[in-house]
A and B are shown apart, each in its own frame.
Chain A
Amino acid sequence: MGKSITIILLILLSFLLNCSDQKARELILFDFESPSELDKLEWSCHTMYSLSDEHSTHGLKSLKLELYPFEGEDYPGLTPIITKNNWSGFKYFCFDIYNPEARQEQISLRIDDRKDYPDYEDRYNQRINLKSGQNSMCISLNEMATSATNRNINLQNIYRVLIFMSNPEKKVVLYMDYIRLVR
């Protein structure tokens, strides 16, 4: 009897340890599960945001982005309000994007480690090709460097993340989910 209780306790303990390990292995920044998360985005012209039941990769919902073309120069996309500024201790910045179109789309990722809107040269910029369907992106944080100054991004001071398209020629719809940091 005593032996069985010990075994059960050990199983429970290993389960709990496993759970806490899972929890610590990643930090979910945005999961787009409730309307309140829409208030954690910088809303701007030429992009519509809404929660969707389609193409979710974590939880039940995803974020539907409708990116509209504009006559002038424009960069419609997503600017989540970052409250977790210290990314040190994590290895990857990951997110999932579903591209419902048959054709490939190109998006850009920008990360600022300075509050004062650094110029292109002194921030992280990366073009990402999205194939049709589901795309799971993971960017190595240790290799993240600024475009021209080639300075390693200061992971203790992440102020701004932008995921956007440059001057889309027609309306583009994308579904985003599960924006996270992974150890």
Chain B
Amino acid sequence: MKRWLIGCFIGIVLLISVPVIYGVFIEPYQIEIHHVRIQDPFFEKFLGNKTVIQLSDLHIENIGKREQNILKILDDLKPDIIFLTGDYVKWKGNYEAALAFLSQLKAKIGIWGVMGDYDYSSSRKSCLFCHREGSKQFTQRYSIRFLRDSSELLNLPEGTLRIEGIEFKKEYTNLSYGKSLPLKMIDPSIILSHSPLSFNLLDINQNLFMVAGDTHGGQVPLPSWFSGIIGYEKNASYSQGYFKNGNAKMYVSRGIGTSHIPIRLFRKPEIVVLHFSAN
């Protein structure tokens, strides 16, 4: 009887500790290159022959092995375009490490990004993503274009593509469906948003493709109803993957880093490679 009890106890400890050890020490470092195929003839015309990368939710503390690994992977992928969908730092964390990492990103055509809620956790330091310290002059550390409720036209040999960035704002969580954003969404556009909930605000009749993050895919598998109960509407509605509503499409990356609890279980960090095809 006593042996049976000890056996049970060891079994339970193993049952809990093995996934925890795996989730804390192994999986967060197993970066996956996730090739996502998007069927869209319009975007294929512009981006079909290009390597388009999405990086999200890096939550960088320092430039360690994981970050070096990401840079090495990106070097091998030779991206034409990189889309960054926010949360580069830990909460009120080390901005310098994140900025140093971002300064090492390279893409042939360009890098565009939006900021996430964590990037504003120290609002004074958040200015450093765009500006030199104590100055209104733009930073020279990198050529990333941060879009804050703004857009840019990307002139390609195939034509002009609009890239829009939806700024993370606490106010937006109050917006009801259909209420317009400050941006005029001009068909067709690639939209960057940290929060996937911005997808609810898009006009589904327009040819829009949104990339978002923020959810981390839940970091561990959780049923959507549970995410809803604990107030994570974003995870309940758009935890990870591809979503389509009318002509509007979205890919939600589960990102790379972790927040709250440093664990990832069956939610490997991902570097997303977007492939646009006509059919």
Tally of contact residues, B, Cβ under 8 A: 13
A42 and B123 in contact (CB under 8 A), knowing A48-B136, A117-B171? yes
Interface centre among A38, A66, A117 (most CB of B within 10 A): A117
Docked-complex contact A43 and B170, CB < 8 angstroms:
no
Which residue on chain A has the smallest CB distance to residue B134?
A: A50
In the complex the two chains form, is B136's CB within 8 Å of A41's CB? no
A43 vs B171: C-alpha distance in the bound complex, in angstroms?
16
Q: Is the CB of A41 within 8 A of B123?
A: yes
Contacts of A43 in B (CB 8 A): 123-124, 126-127
Closest-by-CB residue of A relative to B169 is A117
The one of A39, A73, A116, A117 in contact with B124, judged by C-beta atoms closer than 8 angstroms, is A39
B82 → chain A closest CB, angstroms = 23
B130-144: which residues lie under 8 A (CB-CB) from chain A? 130, 134, 136
The answer to whether B136 and A68 have CB atoms under 8 Å apart is yes
Residues from chain A with a CB closer than 8 A to the CB of B130 are 45
A25-50 Cβ-contact flags toward B at 8 Å (1 or 0)? 00000000000001101111100101
Q: Cα distance A116–B172 when bound, in Å?
A: 10
A45 CA to B130 CA in the complex, in Å?
A: 10
Chain B, residue nearest A39 (CB): B124
Contact of A117 (CB < 8 Å), options: B122, B123, B148, B170: B170
* In contact, A41 and B134 (Cβ under 8 angstroms): no
Contacting residue for A45 out of B122, B148, B174, B182, CB 8 A: B148
Report B106-133 residues with CB < 8 Å from chain A CB: 122-124, 126-127, 130
Chain A interface, DSSP helix/strand/loop, else mixed: loop
Interface size on A, residues (CB 8 A): 14
Within 8 A of B (CB), among A64-79: 66, 68, 73
* Contacting pair A41 B124 (CB below 8 A): yes
- If the complex has contacts A45-B148, A68-B136, are A116 and B127 also in contact, measured as CB distance less than 8 A? no
The docked-state distance in angstroms from the alpha carbon of A48 to that of B132 is 12
Interface of chain B residues 204 through 253 with chain A (CB within 8 A): none
Complex CA–CA separation, A44 to B171 (angstroms): 14
Give CA–CA (A48, B133) in the complex, Å: 11
Per the bound structure, the CA–CA distance linking A38 and B124 in Å amounts to: 7
Distance in Å: Cβ of A66 to nearest Cβ of chain B: 8
> How many Å from the CB of A71 to the closest CB on chain B?
10
Chain B residue, CB-CB nearest to A49: B124
List chain B residues, Cβ under 8 A from A39: 122, 124
Complex Cα spacing A45 to B123, Å:
11
Question: How far does the alpha carbon of A38 sit from the alpha carbon of B170 in the complex, in Å?
Answer: 21
Residue numbers in A under 8 Å from B170 (CB-CB): 117
Set of chain B residues within 8 Å of A50, measured between Cβ atoms: 134
1/0 contact trace for B162-194 toward A, CB 8 Å?
Answer: 000000001100100000001000000000000
Binary per-residue interface labels of chain A (104-129) against chain B in the complex, 1 for a CB within 8 Å, 0 otherwise? 00000000000011000000000000
Interface residues in B40-90 (C-beta closer than 8 Å to A) = none
Of the listed residues B124, B148, B171, B174, the one surrounded by the most CB atoms of chain A closer than 10 A to its CB is: B124
Residues of B within 8 A of A48 (CB): 136
A-side contacts of B174, CB under 8 Å = 116-117
Q: Which residue of B lies closest to A42 (CB)?
A: B123
In the bound complex, what is the Cα–Cα distance between A117 and B173 (angstroms)?
10
- Nearest neighbor of A79 in chain B, beta-carbon distance: B123
Interfacial chain A residues near B123, Cβ < 8 Å: 41-44
Q: How far, in Å, is A99 (CB) from chain B's closest CB? A: 21
CA distance A39 to B171 in the complex (A): 21
Tell me the bound Cα distance from A157 to B62 in angstroms: 39
Q: Which residues of A contact B134 (CB under 8 A)?
A: 50
Q: Give the 9 A-B residue pairs with the shortest CB-CB distance, closest first.
A: A43-B123, A117-B171, A43-B124, A42-B123, A39-B124, A43-B127, A48-B136, A117-B174, A116-B174
Interface pairs (12), CB distance under 8 Å: A39-B122, A39-B124, A41-B123, A41-B124, A43-B123, A43-B126, A45-B130, A48-B136, A116-B174, A117-B170, A117-B171, A117-B174
